[in-house]
Structure 1
Amino acid sequence: MLTNYLKIAWRTLQKQQGFTFINIFGLAVGLACCILIMLYVLDELSYDRYNEKADRIYRVHSEIKFGGNDMHFAVSPDPVGPTLKKDYPQVEQFVRLHQRGTWLVKRAGEPTNLRENDITFADSTLFDVFTLPLLAGDPKRALAEPNTVVISESAAKRHFGTQNPMGQPLLFNNNRTFKVTGVMRDMPMNSHFRSDFFLSMLNDDYTWGQWLSNNHHTYIVLKPGTDAQVFAKNFDAVIQKYAGPQAVQMIGSTMDQFRKAGNRFDFWLMPLTDIHLYSKQQVELASNGDIQYVYIFSAVALFILLIACINFMNLATARSAKRAKEVGVRKVMGSERHQLVGQFMTESVLTTTLAMLLAVIIVAVALPGFNAISAKQLHINQLISPYRLPLLIALPFIVGLLAGSYPALFLSSFQPISVLKGTINLGFRSGSLRSGLVVFQFMMSVILIVGTIIVYRQITYIQTKNVGFNREQILTINDVYPLGKQAETFRQEVMRLPGVVSGSISGYLPTPSARSDNAFFPEGQIDQKNAVSMQSWGVDYDYVKTLGMQITAGRNFSRTFGADSSGIILNESAAKLFGGTDIIGKRIVRFDDPESKTTKLFTVVGIVKNFHFESLRKNIGALSLILDANSGSASFRLSSTNVPVLMKQIEAKWKQLTPGQPFSYQFMNESFDEMYRAEQRIGTIALTFAALAILIACLGLFGLAAFMAEQRTKEIGVRKVLGASVTSIIGLLSKDFLKLVLIGIVIASPIAWYTMNQWLSDFAYKIDIEWWMFALAGILAVGIALVTVSFQSVKAALMNPVKSLRSE
């Protein structure tokens, strides 16, 4: 029986080649989109699950409300991990990570450094917590001693080639030597942090025991059976016992008084496997994903697949007139309804199987481009994993049964007498379900179009918004600390080059990075009521000028004022917390160390206009600038139109002063755009899938329009004989479809508004959702539908009426 079903199904597909192509191609594109998004979503959901203890690992987060700031940190005080391990038997192990950013690394004796990213200090317990297999070395001892480093397999190849790196020295930043005591496999890509170098925490230059400073990423492993939420209730006692005394030393109040004043200082636990998609904390180890996008893309995959299935259902039921007599004859000859259902379901599954084969080919071809857009490293062989292959095999059957169920039941329900007499009504207006499905298709298409428009408008707004400084034509040279005392010489040499307007040496730039806040107080008022928590950036005299910032009150730092070494410039947010512009000339105190009560006194010399130094998702916080020698990076404002030539000249100056050191640079506008690379990727992916959804919907509309034109051939012939114009006939055939598209637009608009309004709520600075965005989406949908339908309408309208009526 099955063989017979397959033979008939194959012959039917061959007989109706046009509709077969539309069905298979539409389903193939839908299935390919679904597979690509499935790979993306599964990769996002897999983060950190490679760790054997993943279900028991938690990161300790800090929440602090103090001095006008409400901060949510992915870091915690350095004593948290050791204290929890010591005081609570539920804690099996802990590890702290302290990321130090980019350093220069080379083999001892080599003349040239390599610039390495994400240098990380780690406790010796690193390998007890995370599953990071060592290819060489003892995981228990690898980081247990000072001046030791564990490197990745890739780093070993970069620095040692085919030589054995074990026991070999590596020089970091030209002044710190570490011995290689372990080589680990490269960390998986689906990890919320990655590092090629783990240095012993014993070498971290840090003042230990600071309960009020949050600088370490702390992970704990809870023993099996421990309820994390119940365990987290112990944090109040930990804070009272350990942080409380330091709070009294710093601000003269207990933790109870601190909280009663409306402040907050709390710890909480985040499961390791939730970090990538759910954490939106400050000071993350790397950029995270967002569970919203997982939901959105999962919905997009489902909707695109539904649109493809709807095409199949529409075309199958629309072609029912062609098969009505076949059904009637089969029933007269004795076929049971279940046999007809089996036949039509076989055709459906065969169609979807062929579509799946084509879809896999499309995925294989599209995957490199999709990886480039999504910044992933997905592979086609991921489809044949033990967990995914069964789903891949089952998918065409599921889709085939879903898409073919209604047509099968619909076609098999025809009464043979009605069919053979020709009294069955299969007109457009009788197909209410078919009309509803067309409405659904274009509703989803319009939602995707509106979403894409709003995403791109928000990205454009971010890129063009006045951020309080001029980021255009600013060259940033990274890692200038190898220059040492020659940093100022380098700045002056570059300043002499034609096309260089100004230059500054500083370790702080208005782009997101891991920075900590300090507590400041008005002189003589060191208490929690007068505290201001703000960042303190060490800059030079030319920093404000080079970055094009605006002084709104007071003045900039000046070399003519010797007292500026203790001067401070506040941004408008900080000045407001201290009382406004009247703060000029007054003195404020910075608390550096609560244990020793070390403080430093500054005189406010100026107020700088607020500028964005973090993502536009956040409001501008309090910030201060002080004069301090910090040679992390050099910034130069350029005016040259021949930038490549100027860059060669600057690089020559660099090499002259620092032979063998890498010359690494970027332009500040590129750094700024990098903050929103995720949104740009999301926008591109959304645009691609919106276009594909519309393509699939139009394929179905094209086939449906062809059928309707064919069904009304004789009607068109009569109308033309009676004097109807081509334009009126095109309007006659198009209006029914356009009504459905317009209904889809009306339904889609409030859904799209709500969805995108939720997405924009993550941004402190955002665009307004305006009416023209929906109008543009509607015009695009109507235009595309009209072009699709008009092709068939024009073809039908131009047909010779003699040919259409000669059979009457």
Structure 2
Amino acid sequence: MLRNNLKLILRQFWQNKTFSLINILGLTLGTACCLYILFFAMEQYQYDKHHADLDALYRVVTDTKLQENPRREMSTLSPPIAPALGEEFAEVENWTRVIGTPDVSQQILKWKNTSFYETKGYYVDPAFFQVFTYKWVEGDPAHALDEPYTVVLTRKVAEKLFGRQSALGESIEIADNEFRVTGVVDAQANPSHIRGHYYMAINSGGIGEYVINNNNWSGNNFIHGYIKLKPQASAEVVAARLPAFLEQHGGDQLRNMGMEKSLHLEAVRDIHLFSERSNQVETTVSSSLLYILLTIAGFIQFLACINFMNLTTARSTLRAKEVGIRKTVGAGRGSLISQFLTEAVLLSAIAFLLAIPLIKLALPWLNLMTGSDVTGSFSQYPQIWLLIGALVLLTGLLAGSYPAFYLSGFKAVNAFKAGSGRSRFSVANLRKGLVVLQFAVSVGLVIGAILIHQQLQFIQNRDLGFQKEQQIIVPVRTDAARSRLATFKQEVKQLPAVRTVSGMLATPGQFVTRDFSVYTEGQTMESAQNTKVIYTDEDYLDALNIPLLAGRALLPGDTTNQIVLNEYAVAALGLSVSDAPGTEVYSDFDDEQITYHIVGVMQDFNFQSLRSDMYPLMLSYWPPNQHFNTLISTQTEDYAGLLATIETTWNQLNPDTPFEYSFLDEDLQKQYQAETNLSYIISLFTFLAILISCMGLFGLATFSMERRVKEIGIRKVLGATTGSLVGRLSKEFLALVLLALVLASPVAWYFMRQWLTEFAYHIQIQWWVFVLVGGFAVAIAFLTVSFQAVRAALANPVEALKSE
């Protein structure tokens, strides 16, 4: 029976090549999208799933609130919290911390004559590799980082340094310090939310020693802390004890700062997909983005199924006689349903077989579009075959269910009568409803794509309050380079193409790790205003072209106690811009009151991402040998020549330190890479959705013209013009597209309005967007339908009527 069904199906495909091609092509495109997003989703869900005792692993995170400022939900904590948890909580089996501040995570690695910049370097506690599971190539995870100045490299970094020889026991230089390699791990074997390239022992001087000796329970929330619970220990019990634990150790400090603070546990298994806290150790993937992608993929697959249902039911009258004959010779309804469902499942299977090589060919381009690294490996994820099998059946059953039950329900006698394909419930109405649904989805995607693009353009073109163009950033990674930075600045300043040069700890857009609270005369830390701090030099405001509103800028003779505030900080402290210079503000630390002298007030500028509101900010002077970045403000179009000259100057002063640079405007744009990728993805899928919808519309229009060929012939004989015929034949379809626009617009407006609220600064949704999309949808539909309408209208009426 199956063999007979297959023969009938293949015969149907061959006899209706146009409709079969439209169905297969639509299903193939939809299936390719589904497969790519399934691979993407599966790879994202694999993050951190390889760790031993995964259900016992938690990150300790922090919520803070200062006065009237919004609550901050951070993925970090203060330095002493994780060790104290390990010491005082019997439920905690082990703990570790990860330090990855911008000045730590990018360093020069050297071995003999090999040196290069490497990113994602972290200081970690000795128990790091006992808490987290990595695939080891060399070394002992239990004791790899017990000793000071030891480091564990990833296989990729080890091969860059040593080639294929063993790295174990070798000494390398990191940030002017000698480290001994005690292990090599294969970081690519299992994905983790901590994607370091090298891990240094925390007791290796510098900021690691600072963290070890730090007893600040309120501020310095830049550490990522993790705990591993003992078997049968309850995370809920531990979480319930955290408020009393924090009060015992840090209550006085928090009250002195006027800060509210709470600690929470976050399951490691949920971090990559579900954590939306700030200061992540690595970039995470938004679960909402993943759901959006899966939803869009489902919509596209559904659109392809609608095409199949529409075209099959449209051709129902042509297959009525087939059904009648088969019923006359004894075929039951069950066998007919089986045939039609088998036909749909076979079509779906063909589409999947065509989609697999299509995905393989398009994978590099799709990864470039989405900013992902999807491997598309069927061997790595064998369970994908089960999903493919389920999707083939689901797609086939969804696409073929209505046609199967509809066609098999024809009565044998009525099947041979004229108009036998009609029923009381008009199939035409169903087809119209499906066309409306198709275009509603497509219109919604177009609206979303346009609004996302507008928001990205708004971000890129918004005046941030400083000059971001023609700014070159030169990172300063080593102590040796920092010791010569003053000389480098003076030599570069003399170049005609350079306007000025400034050194700083953090450039605009980088995460500002330093902050503390200040208060005015007569107040206390309980009413203090938390303020971000950028340590820089006297040229900062000039280099970024930030207006000074009152007082003066920083001077080389200043100390960290002379500060320049932004307008927001001045207002938050209850001061006026004109009176602020000369005023003193205070901060308490370790029972000592520190006095700061306001010397100037600068105009507000967006030093953070536009997802965040304006925030109090101060500039404080640091000498050049403590800066980690140099900003070169230029006035030239010959960047190639200027960069070559700057590199020559750098190499003369720092022969052992590679020259590195970036452009500030490009660095700022990287903050919105997730939104940019989303825009590309939505645009791509929108195009595919419109293409599939138009293919279905083209098929229906073709069928409609074939069914109305005699009507068209009669109208032409009676004097109808080609234009009037095209208008009449197209009107029905265009009305459906307009209805789709009316239905899709409010839904698209609601969801895009929700998405825009994630930005502190965003566009307003304009009415003309919906008019533009409506006009576009109507134009596309008209072009699709009118091709067949014109063809039918130009046909010779004699050919249509000669059999009458």
| TM-score tier after normalising by the smaller chain length | over 0.9
Shift of 1:226: 3.5
Contact 2:610 2:761 (8 Å CA) reproduced: yes
Residue 210 (structure 1) aligns with: 216
State whether structure 2 residue 547 is matched by structure 1 residue 550. yes
2:788 to 786, 789, 792: 792
Mapped partners of 1:353, 1:607: distance in 2: 68
- TM-score where L is the length of structure 2: 0.95
State whether structure 2 residue 80 is matched by structure 1 residue 79. yes
Residue 146 (structure 1) aligns with: 148
Contact 1:500 1:637 (8 Å CA) reproduced: yes
Shift of 1:276: 1.9
Shift of 1:269: 1.1
Contact 1:112 1:661 (8 Å CA) reproduced: no
Residue 471 (structure 1) aligns with: 468
Alpha carbons of structure 1 residues 480 and 196: separation in structure 2 relative to 1, 3 Å = closer
Contact 1:573 1:610 (8 Å CA) reproduced: yes
Residue 115 (structure 1) aligns with: 117
Task: Tell me the SS of whatever aligns to 1:64.
Answer: strand
Residue 394 (structure 1) aligns with: 390
Shift of 1:343: 1.6
Alpha carbons of structure 1 residues 790 and 224: separation in structure 2 relative to 1, 3 Å = farther
Alpha carbons of structure 1 residues 749 and 583: separation in structure 2 relative to 1, 3 Å = same
Mapped partners of 1:615, 1:657: distance in 2: 34
Residue 681 (structure 1) aligns with: 677
Cα deviation, 1:673-719, whole Å, max 9, x if unaligned, reads 00001100110010000000110011111000000000000000000
Give 1:684's aligned amino acid: Y
Bigger mean CA offset, 376-385 vs 733-742: 376-385
Contact 2:518 2:525 (8 Å CA) reproduced: no
Contact 1:569 1:624 (8 Å CA) reproduced: yes
Shift of 1:350: 1.5
Bigger mean CA offset, 237-246 vs 718-727: 237-246
State whether structure 2 residue 359 is matched by structure 1 residue 352. no
Task: Tell me the SS of whatever aligns to 2:378.
Answer: helix
Bigger mean CA offset, 323-332 vs 120-129: 323-332
State whether structure 2 residue 538 is matched by structure 1 residue 535. no
Residue 666 (structure 2) aligns with: 670
Give 2:597's aligned amino acid: T
Mapped partners of 2:295, 2:81: distance in 1: 41
Contact 2:517 2:525 (8 Å CA) reproduced: no
1:296 to 292, 310, 314: 292
Residue 163 (structure 1) aligns with: 165
State whether structure 2 residue 339 is matched by structure 1 residue 343. yes
State whether structure 2 residue 504 is matched by structure 1 residue 506. yes
Shift of 1:565: 6.3
Contact 1:187 1:195 (8 Å CA) reproduced: no
Mapped partners of 1:436, 1:566: distance in 2: 71
Shift of 1:143: 0.7
Mapped partners of 2:679, 2:21: distance in 1: 31
Shift of 1:102: 3.7
Mapped partners of 1:85, 1:601: distance in 2: 37
Shift of 1:722: 0.5
Residue 228 (structure 2) aligns with: 221
Residue 131 (structure 1) aligns with: 133
Alpha carbons of structure 1 residues 81 and 9: separation in structure 2 relative to 1, 3 Å = same
Q: Number of aligned pairs?
A: 789
Residue 319 (structure 2) aligns with: 323
Cα deviation, 1:497-519, whole Å, max 9, x if unaligned, reads 12111111111211132513112
Task: Tell me the SS of whatever aligns to 2:365.
Answer: helix
Cα deviation, 1:67-104, whole Å, max 9, x if unaligned, reads 55432221112222222222222212111111143443
Contact 1:311 1:697 (8 Å CA) reproduced: yes
Mapped partners of 2:379, 2:340: distance in 1: 29
Residue 255 (structure 1) aligns with: none
Residue 567 (structure 2) aligns with: 572
2:416 to 414, 420, 439: 420
Shift of 1:189: 6.8
Alpha carbons of structure 1 residues 383 and 458: separation in structure 2 relative to 1, 3 Å = farther
Mapped partners of 1:247, 1:19: distance in 2: 71
Contact 1:103 1:479 (8 Å CA) reproduced: no
Mapped partners of 1:775, 1:668: distance in 2: 37
Mapped partners of 1:230, 1:310: distance in 2: 52
Mapped partners of 2:8, 2:441: distance in 1: 35
Unaligned runs of 5+ in 2: none
Shift of 1:452: 0.4
Cα deviation, 1:746-772, whole Å, max 9, x if unaligned, reads 110111011111111111110011111
Residue 458 (structure 1) aligns with: 455
Cα deviation, 1:323-351, whole Å, max 9, x if unaligned, reads 11111222222221112112212211221
State whether structure 2 residue 604 is matched by structure 1 residue 602. no
Cα deviation, 1:594-648, whole Å, max 9, x if unaligned, reads 2xx3453221111111111111111011110011123211111111111101110
Shift of 1:563: 5.5
Mapped partners of 2:329, 2:240: distance in 1: 76
Give 2:121's aligned amino acid: I
Shift of 1:296: 0.9
Alpha carbons of structure 1 residues 82 and 104: separation in structure 2 relative to 1, 3 Å = closer
Alpha carbons of structure 1 residues 73 and 584: separation in structure 2 relative to 1, 3 Å = same
Shift of 1:137: 1.5
Shift of 1:393: 2.3
Contact 2:518 2:531 (8 Å CA) reproduced: yes
Contact 1:103 1:173 (8 Å CA) reproduced: no
Alpha carbons of structure 1 residues 565 and 309: separation in structure 2 relative to 1, 3 Å = closer
Mapped partners of 2:675, 2:364: distance in 1: 20
Shift of 1:118: 1.6
Give 2:43's aligned amino acid: D
Task: Tell me the SS of whatever aligns to 2:94.
Answer: strand
Contact 2:512 2:532 (8 Å CA) reproduced: no
Task: Tell me the SS of whatever aligns to 1:795.
Answer: helix
Shift of 1:247: 3.9
Contact 2:508 2:608 (8 Å CA) reproduced: yes
Cα deviation, 1:273-299, whole Å, max 9, x if unaligned, reads 222222232221122211111111111
- TM-score where L is the length of structure 1: 0.95
Shift of 1:4: 0.6
Mapped partners of 1:112, 1:66: distance in 2: 48
Mapped partners of 2:384, 2:433: distance in 1: 33
State whether structure 2 residue 30 is matched by structure 1 residue 30. yes
Mapped partners of 2:499, 2:419: distance in 1: 86
Give 2:37's aligned amino acid: I
Task: Tell me the SS of whatever aligns to 1:381.
Answer: coil
Residue 613 (structure 2) aligns with: 619
Contact 2:106 2:477 (8 Å CA) reproduced: no
Contact 1:617 1:762 (8 Å CA) reproduced: yes
State whether structure 2 residue 802 is matched by structure 1 residue 801. no
Contact 2:482 2:628 (8 Å CA) reproduced: no
Task: Tell me the SS of whatever aligns to 2:499.
Answer: strand
User: How do residues 763-802 of structure 1 correspond to structure 2 at under 5 angstroms?
Assistant: 763-802=759-798
Bigger mean CA offset, 667-676 vs 13-22: 13-22
Mapped partners of 1:31, 1:392: distance in 2: 9
Bigger mean CA offset, 182-191 vs 402-411: 182-191
Mapped partners of 1:351, 1:103: distance in 2: 53
Mapped partners of 1:215, 1:290: distance in 2: 22
Contact 1:283 1:514 (8 Å CA) reproduced: no
Percent identity, aligned pairs only? 37
Residue 182 (structure 1) aligns with: 183
Mapped partners of 2:735, 2:419: distance in 1: 28
Shift of 1:217: 0.4
Cα deviation, 1:187-206, whole Å, max 9, x if unaligned, reads 55732221121111112131
Alpha carbons of structure 1 residues 410 and 565: separation in structure 2 relative to 1, 3 Å = closer
Unaligned runs of 5+ in 1: 252-257
Mapped partners of 1:579, 1:376: distance in 2: 47
Shift of 1:61: 0.8
Shift of 1:430: 4.8
Bigger mean CA offset, 678-687 vs 127-136: 127-136
Bigger mean CA offset, 476-485 vs 115-124: 476-485
RMSD: 1.8
Give 1:527's aligned amino acid: M
